[in-house]
Amino acid sequence: MRLFDLSLRYKMPLWGGGLILATALALSASFMFQAWDNLHQDLQDNAETLGGIMARTLFPVMLHDEVWQAYEVVSLPFVIKPESALTESLMVFDSQLRVYVSSRPNEHSLMQPMAALGPEFAALAGVLPMAADAPVYVRDAHADQHIYVALPIASDGVRLGTVVVAYHKSVLWQRFSQLMQSALWITLLVLGVLLPVTAYWGRRMMRPMQWITGRIRLIGDAQTPAIDPALYPYKDEVGQLFQAYADMHAKLQEKAIFEKEMVKSERMAAVGRLTASIAHEINNPLGGMLNAISTLKRHGSPDPVTQKTISLLSGAGFACGQEAIGANQLVGGRA
């Protein structure tokens, strides 16, 4: 059996459920894309804010070449709330792009060139703007595992170095997966409510159609059943279909009564024709017999016994003729 051959009581819930599911998936996908963009933008905004604070704080420190104090400044965000820090590392480079200080001194040695820190830093060193008034630079290459936000450490047209805020992309994916789980649970909850409601209303809407279909299939039987208008008292298309069926049922009942009357009339007419034929067949010989008796009575000289017999025959024949005429008139009047 093909899908489109199924009953509407199954197809309507299936179609409704499919539309709800498709809508939920489309909305979830749109939400996920928007959430990813928002997370990405929030991460960059956080990096720019943190980098801006670091750049303003580090300018006088680098101006006086206070390396230890610079290390304390870049380590401060990881000391206050290390468990909530989204930043993987904070690095400060001098004007020649050498490591001045890093929040991870074991990984980034002092005076080590940026290009020597790895292929990602080498690519960053090749495109990093070095002007004193250079804007915030964000590098988010598809092949890289990190997002880098670089801000100049400059004041009054003098650039002492660059602060680089590094984020691992796993932070984004971790927060994104949490949002996806929340969205998934919300979507499942909504589907868990809407799908049963859709199935219920689909079956409820199709139940009157089933009643009508069942009654229509019985049209032509000896007794076509009526339908109770209270089963669907509304005035929509289904209610109009109920009313049309009620009108059709009333007309069919009138037609059945008319057909019964027609059959009865035809039967009475047939009986009338038969009675008239019988009366005619009786009256013809009876008339001849009565004429003969009348002639015998007027012109003959019968004996008393014959005379009495003739009188009896005449009376009986006349009575028989009257009965035949009366029966013919009675049947003819009813027909």
pLDDT of 35 reads 83
pLDDT of 99 reads 93
The CATH number that domain 3-187 falls under is 3.30.450.20
Residue pLDDT tens, the chain, 335 long:
565 666 666 667 777 777 888 888 888 888 888 888 888 888 888 888 888 888 889 999 998 989 999 998 888 887 766 544 567 888 999 989 999 999 888 888 889 999 999 999 999 998 888 887 888 888 888 888 888 999 999 988 889 999 999 888 887 788 778 888 888 888 888 888 887 887 777 777 777 777 777 777 777 665 667 777 677 777 777 777 778 878 887 888 888 788 888 888 888 777 777 777 776 667 667 666 667 667 766 666 666 766 677 676 676 666 676 666 666 566 555 55
pLDDT of 192 reads 84
Exposure letters 143-177 (e unless 16+ CB within 10 A, then b):
ebebbbbbbbbbeeeebbbbbbbbbebebbeebbe
pLDDT of 83 reads 46
Domain locations in the chain? 3-187, 237-334
Q: Which residues contact 144 (CB under 8 A, 6 or more apart)?
A: 120, 123, 169
For residue 248, give the nearest of 228, 222, 219 by alpha carbon.
219
DSSP per residue over 21-88, as a string?
Answer: HHHHHHHHHHHHHHHHHHHHHHHHHHHHHHHHHHHHHHHHHHHTT-HHHHHHHHHHHHHH-TTT---S
Q: Which residues contact 103 (CB under 8 A, 6 or more apart)?
A: 74, 75, 77, 78, 89, 90, 91
pLDDT of 113 reads 93
pLDDT of 184 reads 83
Cβ atoms of residues 144 and 8 within 8 Å: no
| φ and ψ at residue 50, rounded to 5 degrees | -65, -45
pLDDT of 310 reads 67
pLDDT of 101 reads 93
Q: Has this prediction a pTM greater than 0.85?
A: no
Neighbours of 50 (CB within 10 A): 19
